[in-house]
Amino acid sequence: MSAEHGSHLTDLTATGILARYRDGHVSPVEVVETHLARIVELDKTLRAFVSTRADEARQEAAESAERWRQGAPIGPLDGIPVSIKDLMAVLGLPMTGGSARPWPRATTDGHAVRLLRAAGAIILGTNTLHEYAFGGTGVNAHVGTPRNPRDPTCIAGGSSGGSAAAVAAGLAVGALGTETGNSIRRPAAFCGVVGFKPTFGRVSRSGVVPLAPSLDHVGVLTRSVPDAALFVKVISGHDPSDSGSRHAPIEPTRPMRGVDGLLIGVPRSMLRGIDHGIARAFEDALVTLSMKGARVIDFTLPIASRWTAIASSIVMHAEAAVIHADRFRSDAESYGEDVATRIISGQAFLGADLARANWLRAQIAAELDDAFGHLGQIDAIVAPAVPATAPVLAPGAFVPGDAPWSIEVGPFHLQRLPSLIGLPAGTVPVGWSRSSMPMPLMAMAAKWHDSTVLTVLEAVCAAIPTAPSRFPSVGEFAT
């Protein structure tokens, strides 16, 4: 192997790897082999993968290498090794959904997985997650708890924790995740990678184990913002088999001239209880945006700042109770206590509760329409993505700042807001703590303006280092 090769290949972005394929400096065989070797080396510690498909990936890499040799790549991700959250159907692999009761081997790919494959991506395996994607820690007694590659004594977060850990540690170049509350952005924020959730309806959920269908999204975790744009472009498109799928009026990667001239809103009154380092990194990012020509203003969201979490929690729990009714009836004993609790409470909510939650959801959507529309003219909203860095993995681990039933003004409402009303949103690290933990920013924009979010994230993104190749001692933790 040349100096280009070896572990350095696991530091590269998809766009960087594709450039090297084009130049003939690197082959998909080397890239896939390097990632598979890193999985073998590190995943005993990280627990990012539920299953791998090494033999198939090697075969596909050889085929991809031949296409590149002939100058005829099959699509925009030809030869890029990726991984998939283990609640999406991947042809030939069993699917656990993070549960103790796996589904049989899939006979076809889920829609987004199929589009990734058609673009040439090579699937290395499936990633660990919170049970049924119904929780924020990623702690999972059934399939293993993903560790944070920046510090394996800490959680990767959930629910797409394995996907975030895999990308952060250089085990996959990109990954698919899902989000019903904050399940792509939170683990991405904790692990220091890009997490992006497109507008509701842009990416089909067909072939994905549902949690709450009016809130569920498919999105991506990557090593750079351009990679996120590339992946989202590939997996976007109307799919009649998903009733939530829409014909998008605006392309996800519509070209933009940077952030110059954009009006960026900061919901300052909601930013309480933020870790000092994260707050400082966020303020530095605002300065960066201003220096690049954006106008940054403070503004308020009186309804969203109090009522987002409760509306999101009621809708999520109630829909999950419907989705899980049959499975829970037949196999309640296999469910973890936290998920069982949520399903039972969702069943216990009344029609009146759901009516009020849906009314709040409509009020919040209207408030955001005003902010983005003629009343506010705001192009994007930015805030710290999480109030604190990833907590230590321990029995009873909880997500800092998470308050699903609170109606106090606080930053947790911002985390649930994009999924509740279907806005595009993403997160990037904008700084690193002294202990190398990421300090992330989140951005959101009006429906279908995914490209605005990506543009803002690109403008503020700090360089994303791959996690160290040697990890500190993990110690003994219950999974």
DSSP 90-120: -TTS-B-TTSSSPBPPPSS--HHHHHHHHTT
- Judged by beta carbon, residue 299 or residue 349, the one nearer another protein is 349
Query: Which listed residue (53, 111, 147, 317) binds another protein by CB under 8 A?
Result: 317
Asked if residue 361 binds another protein (CB under 8 A), the reply is no
Does 349 contact another protein by CB under 8 A? yes
Check 159, 160, 224, 312 and give the catalytic one.
159
Query: Which one of 254, 261, 407, 468 is in contact with another protein (CB under 8 A)?
Result: 407
| Cα distance between residue 364 and residue 106, in whole Å | 39
Percent helix / strand / coil, the chain, rounded to 5: 40, 15, 45
For this structure, is 159 an active site residue? yes
Please choose, out of 10-18, 76-84, 307-315, 439-447, the segment that lies near another protein by the rule CB under 8 A.
307-315
Smallest gap from residue 403 Cβ to another protein (A): 10
C-beta separation of 18 from 26 below 8 A: no
CA distance 264 to 380: 5
Q: Is 132 in the site for another protein (CB under 8 A)?
A: no
C-alpha span between 275 and 216 (Å, rounded) = 29
Question: Is 292 annotated in the active site?
Answer: no
Residue 23 to residues 11, 19, 39, 116, 152: CA-CA distances in angstroms? 18, 6, 27, 23, 36
- Considering only the C-alpha atoms of the chain, give the largest distance between any 2 of them, rounded to a whole number of Å: 66
Stretch that binds another protein, among 217-225, 272-280, 331-339, 430-438 (CB under 8 A): 331-339
Nearer to another protein, 343 or 430 (CB): 343
Q: Which is nearer to another protein, 8 or 356 (CB)?
A: 356
Which residue, 162, 153, 152, is CA-closest to 130?
162
Of the pair 62, 407, the CB lying nearest another protein is at 407
Residue of the chain from 132, 134, 196, 328 that contacts another protein (CB under 8 A):
328
User: How many chain residues bind another protein (CB under 8 A)?
Assistant: 31
- Enumerate residues 457-476 that contact another protein by CB under 8 A: none
**57 burial class (0-12, 13-18, 19+ CB within 10 angstroms)?**
buried
Pairing of strands 425-432, 295-298: unpaired
Angle at CA 398, nearest 5°, toward 360 and 272?
Answer: 55
Cα–Cα distance between 121 and 35 in angstroms, integer?
14
Shortest separation between residue 361's beta carbon and another protein, angstroms: 12
> Of 163, 183, 245, 451, which one is the catalytic site residue?
183
Known active-site residue 204: no
Would you please indicate which residues are annotated as catalytic (active-site) residues?
85, 159, 183
| Contacts to another protein by CB under 8 A | 307, 310, 313-314, 317, 321, 325, 328-329, 332-333, 337-338, 340-345, 347-350, 353, 356, 359-360, 363, 405-407
